[in-house]
């Protein structure tokens, strides 16, 4: 038994040692794979040139997707490159005399090439540094993907036009950028000019631009491409929302029932632990016991249980007290389990957020398009529903129930002073945020929705 345990420990230690020794090589390979993915995007979609919004006729949704992919792979390459440098300093991968053997099949002849490990590492590092340097140059950074926001279309398009004119000259095999502006750029430019000059109503300019886009021979392909990108973005956004909801709940239940629960039951035996964690649980148990005794006496007085004696009533009350003792002991243990299980769920939630930066950006834009794409009456309805629910006249009762439920969930005593102070301050802050958002953003993006909201509120 002891020899078996030692052999297992030795095997685990050897596996861990091998994994540690391969860390520099693994990190370098992952960084190299990330920059190769960037290179693949450049070759397949940008003619071998830089990933930029000036190339071709890609729409804003497509450009957003390419920008997210570029940012994701650049960050991955930088992190893995830093990991390689740190681990290589300790393990000295480049100084080890390891060679790689490649078998090249050409007909019936086989040729063996011996590749020096140091040369292979230097070659990969050179490729990684070249691609990262292309997108780290502050002069060329203005030529990379620019996603035009609804708030600052003219400024960003202007900067992009200045900085991205010579994009096709970055690499020898790149194709020249198309002189025809993108459809989304035309829309944003027309809206910006209308906002600045105000010579013609924006509806006339939009109609002229719509006719221009419909006469474009590539309009059908643009619609298909935009639909595909929109479909992919919707899938990613819905999947992220489901992950953020399902995984924390699932981890909370698994941790509570199979990890934290047995530990709490073992460390807190019923015979040596207090039944009640706080005064609220004790008051609830005493009230239930008192009502049970009063109900028995009441039934005896009205003739439903005339044969009950005081001794029988006391015996029934004693049995009820034992039952309540077991019930509230389980409630106290559940409250302790909830604390640690919710910590695990919160950790899982933040891990998903940290590892889904690109998906979060896509989800944010999906929500923006979903909200701002509603009709004016729908926007006003949702705003009134949210404000009346969280900051309206009846909202204090809802906040009070919510806070008491949270306190009961964690086995805490409901502090009335804290609850009233929270109700007196937090809804006011939320109301201020709602009004600022309406004044700062919604009033500029959809003034008719603000007018509808005011009319419905009055």
Average pLDDT of the chain is 75
CA distances from 406 to 90, 345, 400, 416 (A): 49, 16, 10, 13
* pLDDT at residue 439, rounded to an integer: 85
When mean pLDDT is compared across 131-145, 192-206, 410-424, the lowest value belongs to 192-206
Of 47-51, 76-80, 343-347, minimum mean pLDDT range:
47-51
Burial of 179 (0-12, 13-18, 19+ CB in 10 A): exposed
pLDDT confidence of residue 154: 34
Q: Higher-confidence residue: 16 or 238? A: 238
**Percent of the chain whose predicted confidence (pLDDT) is above 70:** 73
pLDDT at residue 389 is higher than 60: yes
Which of 56-60, 251-255, 335-339, 357-361 is the least confident region?
Answer: 56-60
pLDDT at 245 over 70: yes
What is the structure's pLDDT at 171?
A: 38
Residue 126's pLDDT is what? 86
- pLDDT tens by residue, 176-218: 343 334 444 434 443 443 344 445 566 676 777 777 777 777 7
List CB contacts of 140: < 8 A, sequence separation 6 or more.
50, 134, 163, 170
Contact of 407 with 417, CB cutoff 8 Å: no
Return the percentage of the chain with pLDDT > 90, whole number.
9
For the stretch 343-359, pLDDT in tens is 999 999 999 998 888 88
- CA–CA separation, 111 vs 103, rounded Å? 6
Q: Domain segments of the chain: what residues?
A: 2-180, 374-458
* Confidence category of residue 20, pLDDT binned at 50, 70, 90: low
Residues in contact with 415: Cβ distance below 8 Å, sequence separation at least 6, in sequence order: 407
Among 149-163, 360-374, 411-425, name the one with the lowest average pLDDT: 149-163
For residues 324 and 283, the answer to whether their CB atoms sit within 8 Å is no
pLDDT over 80 (residue 10): no
How many other CB atoms sit within 10 Å of the CB of residue 130? 11
The CA-based dihedral angle spanning residues 229, 235, 236, 242, taken in that order and rounded to the nearest 10 degrees: 170
Res. 248 pLDDT band, cuts 50 70 90 = very high
User: 397 by DSSP, 3-state: which?
Assistant: helix
Q: According to the model, what pLDDT value does residue 47 have?
A: 78
Residue 101: per-residue pLDDT = 45
pLDDT band at 273 (very low <50, low <70, confident <90, very high): low
Mean pLDDT calculated for residue range 265-278:
75
């Amino acid at each position: 038994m002891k020899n078996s345990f030692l052999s297992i420990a030795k095997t685990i230690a050897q596996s861990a040692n091998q994994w540690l020794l391969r860390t520099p090589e693994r990190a370098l390979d992952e960084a190299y794979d990330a920059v190769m993915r960037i290179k693949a995007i450049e070759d397949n979609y940008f003619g071998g040139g830089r990933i930029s919004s000036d190339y071709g006729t890609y729409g804003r949704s497509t450009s957003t997707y390419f920008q997210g992919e570029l940012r994701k792979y650049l960050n991955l390459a930088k992190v893995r490159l830093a990991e390689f440098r740190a681990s290589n300093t300790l393990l000295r991968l480049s100084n080890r005399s390891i060679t790689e053997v490649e078998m090249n099949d050409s007909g019936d002849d086989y040729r063996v090439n011996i590749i020096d490990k140091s040369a292979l590492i230097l070659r990969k590092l050179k490729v990684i540094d070249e691609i990262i340097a292309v997108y780290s140059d502050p002069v060329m950074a203005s030529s990379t993907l620019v996603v035009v926001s609804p708030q600052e279309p003219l400024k960003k398009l202007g900067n992009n036009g200045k900085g991205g004119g010579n994009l096709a000259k970055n690499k020898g095999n790149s194709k020249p950028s198309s002189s025809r502006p993108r459809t989304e750029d035309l829309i944003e430019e027309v809206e910006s000019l209308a906002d600045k000059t105000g010579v013609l109503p924006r509806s006339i300019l939009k109609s002229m631009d719509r006719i221009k886009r419909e006469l474009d021979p590539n309009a059908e392909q643009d619609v298909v491409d935009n639909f595909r990108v929109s479909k992919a973005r919707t899938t990613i956004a819905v999947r992220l929302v489901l992950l953020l909801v399902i995984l924390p709940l699932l981890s909370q239940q698994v941790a509570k029932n199979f990890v934290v629960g047995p530990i709490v039951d073992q460390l807190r035996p019923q015979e040596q632990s207090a039944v009640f964690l706080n005064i609220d649980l004790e008051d609830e148990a005493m009230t239930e016991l008192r009502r049970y005794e009063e109900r028995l006496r009441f039934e005896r007085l009205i003739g439903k249980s005339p044969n009950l004696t005081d001794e029988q009533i006391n015996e029934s009350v004693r049995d009820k007290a034992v039952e309540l003792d077991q019930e509230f002991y389980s409630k106290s243990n559940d409250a302790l389990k909830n604390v640690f299980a919710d910590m695990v769920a919160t950790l899982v939630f933040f891990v998903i957020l940290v590892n889904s930066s690109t998906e979060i950006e896509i989800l944010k834009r999906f929500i923006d398009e979903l909200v701002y794409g509603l009709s004016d009456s729908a926007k006003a309805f949702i705003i009134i529903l949210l404000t009346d629910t969280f900051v309206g006249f009846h909202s204090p009762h809802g906040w009070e129930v919510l806070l008491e439920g949270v306190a009961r969930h964690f086995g805490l005593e409901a502090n009335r002073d804290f609850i009233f102070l929270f109700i007196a301050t937090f809804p006011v802050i939320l109301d201020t945020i709602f009004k600022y958002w309406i004044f700062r953003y919604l009033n500029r993006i959809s003034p008719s929705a603000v007018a509808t909201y005011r009319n419905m509120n009055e």
